[in-house]
């Protein structure tokens, strides 16, 4: 795929053939060779052919080959003329990350790290087909789908301030449980409060380094502070919503007045009946995911208090922020100086709204939105902040993680004969896991070094480094 280098952080795929806009990828000389070996750049170009796309088909430095849309892709479509695509959101609708800060330091938990790891592993169901302690009636499930995190808070699993510090307040407008199939509802009925498998995790960690004291202070982060970071999504309910609507839109694709370069890019015009119904179902699944992460944080909080025998006041656990990185959202952006209503697809990309934006909660508005970028289980994760430049260049978006380097098979082969959990322990990280091959598939070397990814977005100015977190305990499915 031919491209031009724009500057040290960006390349551009020129508009050719059916492309309606160019492709633009944030990357670096270090990351580019991995990217060129895959079909991810072709996928960036394919997305650029979809109707209503505005400015450019974008990709963040953690881009890797997805199905249809690349993972790490950002594409904004005009609400009137553009499309909505389930593949542009991904199967795990509102897969996202949540960070909580505590009043604890390493000294407070050091003597009980092993016990804490065991207790968190027991309290947070993980792995394939795991079921949660929350048993939803049909009417409660519908409330979850419309109220999101608020439902969990009203059930006593969190506080009102958690909602302020969650993207969209933990509930997206426009959700309609009636647009969610019975199959999807069945898959989600007993999975609330479960982590899932694959790259989902719960980590207890430490604030290892501060890069921006002002922003860190505003976010309530200080060096040496114990944190809880978790990564999960909408579980089977979200996967099924995506699958249902991909199937529907694939069947209708032959009626569209344009040719799809890949079936997985199936879509509908946002203004169409199918497009609106998918958006309503996606929003419902997103709300389920926010409730899920709210419950997971509640389980972590209860476990910390029990194992450490401390009160809520001693723990002082508060949600720093919760971000989604698989979503399509209705947003207003300036395009060539004019405000436009857009549907921004972020698939493996994080919103990074800058200072002063009305959608950033009041407490953080002066510095910009917190952005949570987890790395692999053996290294570190980052807290960034959104910037004005992201608003100008990327529809207020940035990276979402490290991005895989190796396929799962290659990672398993690479790890053969190694005791990954012992290697992690020697680096001060206690790991608990469920799946037979989880640790091998998720080994650090299977991912890019997240600091290489973060350096690109920091240098490009589409988000800025605030703090780095180091894992102490990792729980995986």
Partner 1 sequence: MPYELISHTADYAARIRAETEEGLFLEAAGALVSMITDPGLLSGGKPVTVTAEGDDRADLMVNWLREILSFFVVDGLIVRISGIESLTETAVSALGTAVPFDPAKHPVYKEIKAVTYHAARAERAGSGWEAQIVFDV
- Known catalytic residue at 400: yes
Pick from 22, 23, 52, 66: which binds partner 1 (CB under 8 A)? 66
Residue 286 Cβ, how far from partner 1 at the closest point, in Å? 16
**Secondary structure (3-state) at 13:** strand
Interacting positions 241-300 with partner 1 (CB under 8 A):
242-243, 246-247, 250-251, 254, 262-264, 266
Beta partners for residue 339, in sequence order: 334
Window of 238-246, 278-286, 316-324, 377-385 that interacts with partner 1 by CB under 8 A: 238-246
Q: How far is CA 118 from the centre of its chain?
A: 26
Distance CA 204, CA 185 (A): 31
Residue 245 Cβ, how far from partner 1 at the closest point, in Å? 12
Window of 20-28, 306-314, 407-415, 454-462 that interacts with partner 1 by CB under 8 A: 407-415
- Output the six-digit token pair for 38: 């895959």
Residue 262 Cβ, how far from partner 1 at the closest point, in Å? 7
Pick from 173, 407, 414, 427: which binds partner 1 (CB under 8 A)? 407
Using alpha carbons, select from 158, 198, 184, 433 the residue that is nearest to residue 296.
Answer: 158
Q: Per residue, what are the HEC states of 77-115? A: EECCCCEECHHHCCCCCCCEEEEEEEEEEHHHHHHHHHH
Distance CA 289, CA 89 (A): 14
Q: Does 196 bind partner 1 (CB under 8 A)?
A: yes
Task: Give rounded-to-5 percent helix, strand, coil for the chain.
Answer: 40, 25, 35
Q: Give the H/E segment covering residue 195.
A: none
Q: Does 450 bind partner 1 (CB under 8 A)?
A: no
CB of 177 or CB of 233, closer to partner 1 = 233
Q: Does 435 bind partner 1 (CB under 8 A)?
A: yes
Window of 147-155, 191-199, 360-368, 457-465 that interacts with partner 1 by CB under 8 A: 191-199
Which residues fall within 8 angstroms of residue 250, CB to CB, at 6 or more apart?
263, 266
CB of 183 or CB of 421, closer to partner 1 = 183
Using alpha carbons, select from 453, 59, 374 the residue that is nearest to residue 198.
Answer: 374
Distance CA 469, CA 18 (A): 43
Q: Does 46 bind partner 1 (CB under 8 A)?
A: no
Cα angle 235, 407, 23 (rounded to 5 degrees) comes to: 85
How many residues can be counted in the chain? 477
Interacting positions 138-177 with partner 1 (CB under 8 A):
none
Task: Using CA atoms of 31, 36, 42, 48 in order, give the dihedral in degrees to the nearest 10.
Answer: 40
Beta partners for residue 269, in sequence order: 83
Using alpha carbons, select from 221, 163, 165, 96 the residue that is nearest to residue 361.
Answer: 165
Pick from 22, 23, 52, 68: which binds partner 1 (CB under 8 A)? 68
Q: Does 310 bind partner 1 (CB under 8 A)?
A: no
Pick from 236, 370, 374, 401: which binds partner 1 (CB under 8 A)? 236
Of the residues 231, 333, 400, 458, which is catalytic? Answer: 400
Task: Using CA atoms of 201, 206, 210, 213 in order, give the dihedral in degrees to the nearest 10.
Answer: 100
Q: Does 452 bind partner 1 (CB under 8 A)?
A: no
String marking each residue 79-118 x if it binds partner 1 according to CB under 8 A: ------------xx--------------------------
**Secondary structure (3-state) at 227:** strand
8-state DSSP, 253:
G
Q: Does 237 bind partner 1 (CB under 8 A)?
A: no
String marking each residue 111-130 x if it binds partner 1 according to CB under 8 A: ----------------xxx-
Q: Does 61 bind partner 1 (CB under 8 A)?
A: no
Residue 285 Cβ, how far from partner 1 at the closest point, in Å? 13
Residue 181 Cβ, how far from partner 1 at the closest point, in Å? 10
| C-alpha distances in Å from residue 392, one per residue of 77, 151, 333, 334, 386 | 16, 35, 8, 7, 12
Residue 373 Cβ, how far from partner 1 at the closest point, in Å? 17
Residue 68 Cβ, how far from partner 1 at the closest point, in Å? 6
Using alpha carbons, select from 315, 346, 474 the residue that is nearest to residue 70.
Answer: 346
CB of 251 or CB of 341, closer to partner 1 = 251
- Interacting residues with partner 1 (CB under 8 A): 38, 64-68, 71, 91-92, 127-129, 183, 186-187, 196-198, 236, 239-240, 242-243, 246-247, 250-251, 254, 262-264, 266, 404-410, 435-437, 477
Which sequence positions are flagged as catalytic? Answer: 400
């Amino acid at each position: 795929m031919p491209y031009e280098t724009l500057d040290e952080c960006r390349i551009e795929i020129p508009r050719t053939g059916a492309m309606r806009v160019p492709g633009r990828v944030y990357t670096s000389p270090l990351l580019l060779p991995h990217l060129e070996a895959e079909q991810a750049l072709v996928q960036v170009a394919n997305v650029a052919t979809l109707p209503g796309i505005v400015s450019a088909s974008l990709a963040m430095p953690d881009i890797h080959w997805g199905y249809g849309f690349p993972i790490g892709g950002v594409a904004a479509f005009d609400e009137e003329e553009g499309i909505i695509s389930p593949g542009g959101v991904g199967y795990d609708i509102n897969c996202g990350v949540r960070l909580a800060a505590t009043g604890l330091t390493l000294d407070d938990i050091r003597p009980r790290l092993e016990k804490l790891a065991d207790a968190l592993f027991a309290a947070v169901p993980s792995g394939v087909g795991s079921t949660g302690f929350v048993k939803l009636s049909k009417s409660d499930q519908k409330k979850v789908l419309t109220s999101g995190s608020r439902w969990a808070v009203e059930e006593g699993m969190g506080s009102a301030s958690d909602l302020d510090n969650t993207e969209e307040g933990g509930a997206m407008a426009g959700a309609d449980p009636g647009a969610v199939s019975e199959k999807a509802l069945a898959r989600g009925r007993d999975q609330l409060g479960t982590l899932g498998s694959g790259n989902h995790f719960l980590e207890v960690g430490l604030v290892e380094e501060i890069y921006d004291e002002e922003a860190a202070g505003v976010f309530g982060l200080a060096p040496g502070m114990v944190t809880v970071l978790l990564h999960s999504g909408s579980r089977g309910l979200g996967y099924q919503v995506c699958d249902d609507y991909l199937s529907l839109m694939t069947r209708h694709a032959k009626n569209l007045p344009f040719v799809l370069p890949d079936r997985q890019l199936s879509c509908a015009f946002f203004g169409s009946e199918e497009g609106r119904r998918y958006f309503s179902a996606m929003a419902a699944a997103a709300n389920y995911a926010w409730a899920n992460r709210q419950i997971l944080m509640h389980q972590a909080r209860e476990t910390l208090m029990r194992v450490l025998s401390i009160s809520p006041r001693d723990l002082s656990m508060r949600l720093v922020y919760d971000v989604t990185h698989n979503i399509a959202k209705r947003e207003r952006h300036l395009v060539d100086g004019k405000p436009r209503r857009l549907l921004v697809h972020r698939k493996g990309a994080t919103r990074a709204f800058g200072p002063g934006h009305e959608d950033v909660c009041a407490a953080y508005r002066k510095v910009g939105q917190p952005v949570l970028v987890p790395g692999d289980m053996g290294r570190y994760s980052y807290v960034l902040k959104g910037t004005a430049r992201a608003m100008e260049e990327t529809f207020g978006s940035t990276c979402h993680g490290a991005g895989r380097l190796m396929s799962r098979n290659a990672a398993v082969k690479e790890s053969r004969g190694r005791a990954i959990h012992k290697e992690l322990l020697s680096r001060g990280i206690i790991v608990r896991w469920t799946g037979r091959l989880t640790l091998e598939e998720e080994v650090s070397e299977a991912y890019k070094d997240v600091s290489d990814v973060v350096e690109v977005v920091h240098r490009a100015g589409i988000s800025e480094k605030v703090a780095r977190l180091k894992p102490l305990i990792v729980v995986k499915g």
